[in-house]
Amino acid sequence: MNKLKAFWASLPHQVQAVLILFGTAAGTTLAKELQALAFGTLNFSKSSLEHDLGMAVAAGLLAVKAFYSEPSPTSIVTPVSLVSK
């Protein structure tokens, strides 16, 4: 466990953030399928597994992209009180 903690601490904060964001979004996407598996109601097939994993990866990538995206210069709103008249 100490080696794992040391490895995690050695990673740059940006990499840690990407791993946390990706894992959280992907895990949340798969949560419904895992719950169905736990209750025995999952209709398991190779194509459904591929779809679910693909959606989990897409959700993880989208979360990371959204987190690190810069706002567009045209989307910055200036409060009316600061605009010179």
The tokens describing 54, both together, are 């693909």
Cβ atoms 74, 48 nearer than 8 A: no
Cβ atoms 25, 59 nearer than 8 A: yes
Residue 77's pLDDT is what? Answer: 65
Residue 66's pLDDT is what? Answer: 86
pTM over 0.75: no
Which residues of the chain register pLDDT less than 70? 42-44, 73, 75-85
* Domains in the chain: boundaries: 11-67
Dist. CA 18–CA 74, nearest whole Å: 27
Dist. CA 64–CA 25, nearest whole Å: 9
